Structure 1
Amino acid sequence: MIARRNFIITTGLATTAVLASPSFVFSMNKKEIGLQLYTLREELPKDVKATLEKVAAAGYTAVETYGFSIKEGFWGLSPAELKKILDENGLKAVSGHYNSGSFLTDRNTDELIASINAAKILNQEYFTIPWIEENLRQDFESYKKIAARLNEAGKLCKKKGLKLAYHNHDFEFQKQEGKTGFEILLKETDKDLVDFELDLYWVMFSGNDPFKLFKENPGRFKMWHVKDMDKINRALNTEVGSGSIDFKAIFKQAKLSGMIHFFVEQENNFALNSFESVKTSCDFISKI
């Protein structure tokens, strides 16, 4: 048992270290480094187990899933089978991208409920809608309609102990009667039901400023996609830290943003191969 005097000395030294070095606080509260598994979409269907082993070996502790279907599950695995492999590799599936287009179109809940059940089996915190079909986002009113549907889906998720999030691309930043689609979604969704996963690459690609979004909507962006932009060809990704996006500056605004989870993603332009690229990104983020 630690003597009371030694305990006081020890805690006093720890307090001094915290006051002397803010980085010490960060090291004690370091966020998990996550990977959006879509990055490895060529490898996963071939061998889920081996791919996830490599993800863990690269330094990741969290993942974001994609690709669930009622018939095929996750790349031929049931949610329970995938959960077992994740657990064996010390990986948490914090969030999942689920295609719920039928619900957004006609409020059919079959796909939505099946996906929510899958997310629950994986013990996910977030149920994330990654895309709006083009025919559903034609004008101001259609974005308001989507926002209303997101609120409805958010209620269903909340009943199951999940949080709903919406992930952006660049099309949401197109003007609709003087406002962007993204502004409409932010305004028309209930803050208690709908969070946002901010894809920082697409924000920058569309010519927008993430710092401005943080200031105007503090706390709304609970998750980020950390995806870098090639310095020569803006339409291409690159390894985080190798491109034109200043992630060091952006991470300093994590508290204002509300960010609690982030996921590395790289869709193309791998330096050697996808596994080497995700490791390079992880190594860079772990240093900043």
Structure 2
Amino acid sequence: MHDAGDKNEQVVFHLAKPQVGIQLYTLRDQTEKDFLGTIRNLAEMGYSLVEFAGYFDTSSKVLKQTLEDCGLKAPSAHVGLNFDEPDKLESDLKRQIEYALEIGLEYIITPWAPLPEAPALEDVQKLASILESSGKLVTESGLKYGYHNHDFEFKLVDGKPVIDHLLELVPAELMIAEFDLGWVHMGGQRPVDYVKRYAGRVPLAHCKDFGNGRRDTEVGSGVVDFKSVFEVAEEAGIQYFIVEQEEFQSSSLESAKQSLAYLRSQGY
């Protein structure tokens, strides 16, 4: 049990404004040509941090040094679990944990998980069991583990969205939520409702915006309601807002600049 003093300390802890980063998958056309150069470009552009989506065979020593030279943080990486070869899932994840520790990450995030088109409760429970085992492996190493949603996790199973089942089945100390605010919106929910519902369990949030239909766009130029999230972000314990985009009008670098400019205009 916490006494009032503990609660006050927690509130003070969360009052820092979230820092702004970018998921490097956004710049995959750049990173596959010049991984370290792209990281340097983002630092010059004004981003505070990056979230990895692969390392392009870069040694942990070189990558860590590059981050230090640029003054960039790297709190997290998207690391896919080997769902296709379940017997290799644990050993593959252990290798990823080792590398993450070497470069000083804090979070390993599962970016996606397979579910049937019309999932049953049994499918959700099976997935939750895999996520919980992965969470144990990651947290035992001293890192934190999280899950990043798309829109399909908002399908109802027994009257409740899949994502809520997962976050109830897997203990909070074993799995945080990296809510993708755009995909929450596309799943038919209000992003702010999910941030508030899981306050304290959402240290990272993806800023993805959508324009026409399922085409995503620069943050702040689409239909996703970020402003209501910004109002509760500190209170909810969000430490990092991470830009992600997959389709571009001009170029990935230009879009990254526009999204950063929008977040800057909102005080970040």
Q: Give the TM-score of the pair, scaled to structure 1.
A: 0.81
Query: Identical aligned pairs, as a percentage?
Result: 38
Query: 2:150 maps to what in 1?
Result: 169
Shift of 1:135: 5.2
In the TM superposition, what whole-angstrom CA distance separates every residue of 1:207-246 from its partner, at most 9, and x where no partner exists?
Answer: 111222234333222210001111xx13111111211223
Matched, 1:50 2:37: yes
Query: 1:63 maps to what in 2?
Result: 50
Q: Which amino acid aligns with 1:234?
A: G
How far apart in 1 are the matches of 2:127 and 2:244? 25
Shift of 1:81: 2.3
> Could you tell me whether the CA contact under 8 Å between 2:82 and 2:89 is conserved in 1?
no
Q: Which of 228, 248, 252 lines up with 1:249 in the alignment?
A: 228
Task: Could you tell me which runs of 5 or more consecutive residues in structure 2 were left unpaired when the two chains were aligned.
Answer: 1-11
Decide whether aligned partners of structure 1 residues 107 and 173 sit closer, same or farther in structure 2, where only a CA change above 3 A counts: farther
Decide whether aligned partners of structure 1 residues 152 and 215 sit closer, same or farther in structure 2, where only a CA change above 3 A counts: same
> Could you tell me whether the CA contact under 8 Å between 1:38 and 1:66 is conserved in 2?
yes
In the TM superposition, what whole-angstrom CA distance separates every residue of 1:111-133 from its partner, at most 9, and x where no partner exists?
Answer: 01001111111201101001112
> Could you tell me whether the CA contact under 8 Å between 2:180 and 2:206 is conserved in 1?
yes
Matched, 1:40 2:27: yes
Matched, 1:156 2:130: no
> Could you tell me whether the CA contact under 8 Å between 1:163 and 1:194 is conserved in 2?
yes
Q: Which of 242, 254, 268 lines up with 1:276 in the alignment?
A: 254
How far apart in 2 are the matches of 1:107 and 1:55? 34
> Could you tell me whether the CA contact under 8 Å between 1:36 and 1:63 is conserved in 2?
yes
Decide whether aligned partners of structure 1 residues 172 and 106 sit closer, same or farther in structure 2, where only a CA change above 3 A counts: farther
Task: Classify the secondary structure of the residue corresponding to 2:92.
Answer: helix
Task: Could you tell me which runs of 5 or more consecutive residues in structure 1 were left unpaired when the two chains were aligned.
Answer: 1-24, 68-73
In the TM superposition, what whole-angstrom CA distance separates every residue of 1:13-69 from its partner, at most 9, and x where no partner exists?
Answer: xxxxxxxxxxxx9xx9443211000000111011112211211111101010012xx
Q: Which amino acid aligns with 2:90?
A: T
Residue correspondence of structure 1 range 1-288 to structure 2 within 5 A: 29-67=16-54, 74-102=55-83, 105-106=86-87, 108-134=89-115, 138-230=119-211, 233-268=212-247, 270-288=248-266
> Could you tell me whether the CA contact under 8 Å between 1:34 and 1:262 is conserved in 2?
yes
> Could you tell me whether the CA contact under 8 Å between 1:103 and 1:111 is conserved in 2?
no
How far apart in 2 are the matches of 1:201 and 1:179? 20
Decide whether aligned partners of structure 1 residues 278 and 114 sit closer, same or farther in structure 2, where only a CA change above 3 A counts: same
Which protein has the larger Cα radius of gyration, Structure 1 or Structure 2? 1
Task: Classify the secondary structure of the residue corresponding to 1:190.
Answer: coil
> Could you tell me whether the CA contact under 8 Å between 1:96 and 1:124 is conserved in 2?
yes
> Could you tell me whether the CA contact under 8 Å between 1:43 and 1:51 is conserved in 2?
yes
Q: Which amino acid aligns with 2:23?
A: Q
Q: Give the TM-score of the pair, scaled to structure 2.
A: 0.87
CA RMSD, Structure 1 to Structure 2 (Å): 2.2
Task: Classify the secondary structure of the residue corresponding to 2:184.
Answer: helix
Shift of 1:84: 2.1
How far apart in 2 are the matches of 1:38 and 1:259? 21
How far apart in 1 are the matches of 2:130 and 2:117? 12
More divergent stretch after superposition (237-246 vs 161-170): 237-246
How far apart in 2 are the matches of 1:103 and 1:114? 17
Q: Which amino acid aligns with 1:181?
A: V
Decide whether aligned partners of structure 1 residues 104 and 225 sit closer, same or farther in structure 2, where only a CA change above 3 A counts: farther
> RCO (CA 8 Å, sep 6+): is it higher in 1 or 2?
2
Shift of 1:169: 0.4
